[in-house]
């Protein structure tokens, strides 16, 4: 009797601690999100909504039947009332998805509409976080939601008008649809998410490794249709679009933080070739990894995909929101196996994502190196735990 009472008291104390940190993280997330939305909608300085403005301008050229990356300064393709396009890096199919993300609204209305899309995406993330970790009580459920919403770079994503949160929501949609055996719709949502390929390009390999060919066929079919529709709208030749896309690859090497930047220090390797080489090696290696671990949970496979994409492709700090799948996958095993090592790794992993994003430029490159190391350690630990759990289930 006394032993049972002690266990109940111990569990009650743990639950109170979890509630405390849940409210702490939720408060932090509210601060981050309010700041991000405020800059996205209201502030007119040089940083606020700057990426959204660039994408809006690109899409305005599409609405006028011109391919935006040919409207460079000094070229005859520049539309006077719009001005030249200085941005770059997006593939042709992203402009079809742009009809959804960036409708033909005025700039002020676009900012409000984009904020609305992000609100919906955050709700999707909250519901996903609540359900996917299979919480045993309300404290765990609330902590799951607070953990995912408190990722600090959500503030930066909103502030500059990036759409990592929207891509996450589309990937979550693909996750749910696949769980419900809606394979055609899964492929469609993966295709929509490919609007930002440096986040979402690797996810289709999960379904290829699992031989879900309906998903793969729909995924590639949708991308091909998108490309041809953009070709039709802009009256461009496929070879011109392809050559322009190859030229845009320089954008990924010269900016951001990833292995591309580290390897680009070798001036003997052309940037375009470097992207293809690293991309090809990553695709082949990741397909082998997905095949070897094809029987682990889908959430763990999403965690693998998001981390590998974060490490090897072009990214800025705001893209760290993509690592929410790694965070939730690790939280799930922490609930399942609350050992000291698991808890410590989760706390450090969480801190690497929850602490203010402003630490990155202040402590560069040390903070970035620390993040990369803890992310890799968390993924390796996660995979080991998943393999052990599957072996126990099979032996049982």
Kindly state whether residue 249 falls inside one of the protein's structural domains: yes
Per-residue pLDDT of the chain (396 residues; tens, 9 = 90+): 445 544 454 456 778 899 999 999 999 999 999 999 999 999 999 999 999 999 999 999 999 999 999 999 999 999 999 999 998 878 999 999 999 999 999 999 999 999 999 999 999 999 999 998 766 788 899 999 999 999 999 999 999 999 999 999 999 999 999 999 999 999 999 999 999 998 999 999 999 999 999 999 999 999 999 999 999 999 988 888 877 777 766 655 555 555 555 555 555 666 666 666 777 787 888 899 999 999 899 999 999 999 999 988 777 889 999 999 999 999 999 998 899 999 999 999 999 999 998 887 778 778 888 999 999 999 999 999 988 887 766 655
Per-residue confidence (pLDDT) for residue 304, from 0 to 100:
96
Kindly state whether residue 236 falls inside one of the protein's structural domains: yes
Per-residue confidence (pLDDT) for residue 395, from 0 to 100:
59
Of 256, 360, 352, 348, nearest to 311 by C-alpha is: 256
Kindly state whether residue 3 falls inside one of the protein's structural domains: no
How many Å is the Cα radius of gyration of the chain? Answer: 22
Kindly state whether residue 110 falls inside one of the protein's structural domains: yes
Q: What are phi and psi of 235, to 5 degrees?
A: 55, 35
On the CB side of 36, CA atoms within 13 Å amount to 30
Kindly state whether residue 1 falls inside one of the protein's structural domains: no
Q: Which domain holds residue 229?
A: 22-386
> What is the domain count for the chain?
1
**pTM for the predicted model, two decimal places:** 0.92
Kindly state whether residue 16 falls inside one of the protein's structural domains: no
Kindly state whether residue 393 falls inside one of the protein's structural domains: no
- Encoding tokens for residue 185? 């719709």
Kindly state whether residue 10 falls inside one of the protein's structural domains: no
Helices (H), the chain: 2-41, 50-63, 93-101, 107-132, 138-149, 153-160, 164-179, 183-193, 197-200, 204-209, 213-234, 238-254, 259-263, 271-292, 298-312, 324-336, 340-354, 359-362, 366-395
């Amino acid at each position: 009797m006394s032993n049972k009472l002690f266990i109940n008291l111990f569990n009650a104390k743990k639950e109170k601690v979890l509630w405390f940190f849940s409210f702490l993280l939720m408060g932090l997330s509210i601060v981050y999100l309010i700041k991000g939305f405020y800059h996205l909608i209201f502030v007119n300085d040089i940083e606020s909504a700057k990426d959204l403005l660039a994408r809006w301008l690109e899409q305005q050229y599409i609405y006028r039947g011109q391919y935006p990356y040919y409207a460079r300064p000094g070229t005859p393709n520049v539309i006077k009332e719009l001005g030249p396009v200085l941005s770059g890096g997006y593939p042709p199919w992203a402009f079809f998805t742009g009809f959804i993300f960036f409708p033909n609204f005025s700039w002020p209305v676009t900012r409000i509409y984009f904020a609305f899309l992000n609100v919906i995406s955050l709700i999707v993330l909250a519901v996903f976080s609540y359900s996917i970790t299979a919480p045993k009580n309300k404290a765990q459920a609330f902590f799951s939601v607070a953990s995912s919403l408190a990722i600090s770079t959500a503030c930066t994503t909103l502030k500059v008008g990036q759409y990592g949160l929207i891509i996450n929501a589309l990937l979550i949609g693909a996750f749910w649809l696949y769980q419900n055996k809606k394979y055609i719709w899964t492929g469609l949502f993966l295709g929509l998410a490919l609007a930002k390929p440096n986040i979402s390009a690797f996810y289709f390999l999960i379904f290829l490794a699992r031989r879900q060919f309906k998903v793969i066929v729909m995924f590639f079919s949708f991308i091909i249709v998108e490309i041809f529709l953009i070709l039709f709208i802009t009256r461009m030749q496929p070879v011109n679009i392809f050559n322009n896309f190859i030229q845009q690859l320089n954008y990924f090497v010269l900016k951001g933080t990833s292995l591309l930047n580290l390897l680009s220090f070798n001036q003997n390797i052309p940037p375009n070739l470097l992207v293809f080489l690293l991309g090809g090696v990553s695709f082949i290696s990741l397909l082998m990894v997905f095949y070897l671990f094809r029987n682990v949970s889908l959430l763990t496979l999403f965690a693998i995909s998001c981390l590998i994409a974060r490490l090897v492709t072009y990214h800025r700090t705001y893209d760290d929101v993509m690592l929410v799948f790694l965070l939730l996958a690790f939280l799930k095993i922490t609930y399942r196996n609350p050992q000291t090592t698991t808890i410590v790794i989760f706390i450090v992993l969480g801190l690497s994502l929850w602490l203010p994003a402003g630490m990155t430029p202040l402590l560069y490159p040390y903070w970035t190196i620390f993040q990369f190391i803890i992310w890799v350690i968390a993924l390796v630990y996660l995979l080991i735990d998943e393999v052990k759990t599957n072996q126990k289930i099979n032996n049982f």
